[in-house]
Homo-oligomer: A and B are copies of this chain.
Amino acid sequence: MTGWATPGAALVTVGNELLYGETVDTNAAWLGRALTRLGIAVGRKFTVGDDPGQIQAAVRSAMDGADLVLVSGGLGPTPDDVTKEAVAALLGLEVHLDEGLLEALAERFRIRGYSRLPSPNRTQAEVPEGAIVFRNPHGTAPGLGLESGTCLVVLLPGVPRELRGIVEDELAPYLRQRFESRIDPIHHRVIHTSGVAESRLSELVTPLLPADMGPITLAFLPDLRGVDLRLTARGVSPAEAEDWFGRMEAALEPAVTPWRFEAESGDIAEALNAALSLTGMTVATAESCTGGLIAKRITDRPGSSEVFLGGVIAYADAVKVAELGVSVDDLRAHGAVSEPVARQMAIGVRERFGASAGVGVTGVAGPGGGSPEKPVGTVWIAIALGDSVDARLISLRGDRTAVRELAAQAVLAWLYRRVSGRESGA
């Protein structure tokens, strides 16, 4: 199956608030996902302010080589809404009042108790000549499709609910039909990993890549919580894509297995909770430097009450002693950030809460509290599970937020490997 001439799209989002960063451009991301799902490739995005000249320049650039341009924002009734006039002028189209739309609009306002249509809203019944009108189920500005050569320019309102309603109910079915013969399906498979640096993973993965990757491209997507490997297949059928994904996964398996986890959300807490649930185990947490973050991560997931009993945040040393049974002598001899304290926290919380597994974390999150022997980022983590209690020293880099996030992620990833049987206790 070759020879797709994948329809290519560009997005133009309009609004001063998007440039100033007062609003995050969620429409662009949503439209990107919707078009990708339809098999239409988004090649570029533009954002401009509420200015006719800027809008025209962006739409002109966007149309270059594109089959489809979606423009969102600036269709409202106020004077700063200039998109329709600007694009119609760019394409040389006259704008006229559509009596049918005007009547529907007036009816909409009558239902809401207005005796007459507010005059600013009249402009929303004005339509460039030849426009395809896409009904707006949630608002007053319809979507408008304008033909220009082989390119379709669609104007959409910027209110997310209205934009989504129009695309889902009206535009998506229309585009599916319009581009039916040309749609190049894009398939994705994501391999989630945690506990390995992007550069290290790349070193391990690269030599395993087959010389012929066929329709597949590979991307590394890192964040504080791990690295995702995203496989993308283009221009093949779903069955062919599955086949390629299977081959790629088999090739990469030796490199990724130690760190891989399965979770639709991409959150290792989802994988951990599923693994705990599968084995009928429960967990309780004893946290010092992470201050509740590990418990928060576990309970972010719906249904966590099945596997999570609770935890103690033992910030003060007296709490470590009274609530978790940590030895005063060990606290004195080794300090709060030490292997024996981490171990006793894990043992103590498991015992007191009657859980299958207990975790203990104690470290220096910073910015204060570091010393030459125990600099900021020094963290002891421990797991009590089955017959073993294991502890590890990890040295983390970054600010307070990073140290806490990385420590929590390290505990969740380690516990997941233990519970899922990828790693055994000492």
Within 8 A of B (CB), among A277-325: 285, 287, 290-296, 298-300, 302-305, 308-316, 318-319, 322-323
User: Of B22, B77, B198, B398, which is within 8 A of A202 by CB?
Assistant: B77
B296 near A296 with CB under 8 A, answer yes
**Chain B residues near A120 (CB-CB < 8 A):** 199, 202-203, 206
Is residue A6 within 8 Å, beta carbon to beta carbon, of the partner chain?
no
Q: Distance in Å from the Cβ of A301 to the closest Cβ of chain B?
A: 9
Binds B, one of A91-99, A110-118, A240-248, A409-417: A110-118
Bound Cα distance from A227 to B399, whole angstroms? 27
Which interface residue of A25, A47, A305 has the most chain B CB atoms within 10 A?
A47
Known contacts: A285-B313, A323-B310. The answer to whether A138 contacts B219 by CB under 8 A is no
Known contacts: A77-B202, A222-B76, A318-B354. The answer to whether A43 contacts B33 by CB under 8 A is no
Which interface residue of A79, A232, A285, A315 has the most chain B CB atoms within 10 A?
A315
In this complex, how many residues of chain A approach chain B with their Cβ under 8 Å: the count is: 111
User: Of B108, B302, B395, B402, which is within 8 A of A400 by CB?
Assistant: B302
Binds B, one of A48-56, A148-156, A172-180, A379-387: A48-56
A299 near B323 with CB under 8 A, answer no
Q: Distance in Å from the Cβ of A353 to the closest Cβ of chain B?
A: 6
Is residue A159 within 8 Å, beta carbon to beta carbon, of the partner chain?
yes
A303 near B161 with CB under 8 A, answer no
Binds B, one of A11-19, A126-134, A249-257, A327-335: A11-19
Is residue A78 within 8 Å, beta carbon to beta carbon, of the partner chain?
yes
Per-residue interface assignment for chain A, residues 105 to 147, with 1 indicating a CB less than 8 Å from any chain B CB and 0 otherwise: 0001001110000111100000000000000001010000000
CB-nearest residue of chain B to A121: B199
CB-nearest residue of chain B to A320: B310
B49 near A138 with CB under 8 A, answer no
User: Of B33, B36, B292, which is within 8 A of A295 by CB?
Assistant: B292
Bound Cα distance from A47 to B290, whole angstroms? 36
Copies in the complex: 2
A24 near B24 with CB under 8 A, answer yes
Q: Distance in Å from the Cβ of A15 to the closest Cβ of chain B?
A: 9
CB-nearest residue of chain B to A303: B368
Known contacts: A17-B219, A54-B44. The answer to whether A305 contacts B316 by CB under 8 A is yes
List 25 interface pairs A-B (beta carbons < 8 Å), by A numbering. A20-B42, A21-B29, A21-B31, A21-B33, A21-B34, A44-B46, A47-B47, A50-B219, A76-B222, A77-B198, A80-B218, A112-B397, A138-B399, A159-B223, A161-B398, A161-B401, A287-B292, A291-B300, A291-B304, A295-B315, A300-B400, A300-B404, A302-B368, A310-B316, A313-B313
Top 10 A-B pairs ranked by shortest CB distance?
Answer: A21-B32, A291-B299, A292-B292, A292-B295, A21-B33, A45-B47, A310-B319, A21-B29, A292-B296, A118-B199
Q: A46-B46, A118-B200 given. 11 additional CB < 8 A pairs?
A: A18-B32, A18-B45, A21-B33, A25-B28, A43-B49, A138-B399, A292-B292, A299-B365, A309-B316, A310-B312, A319-B353
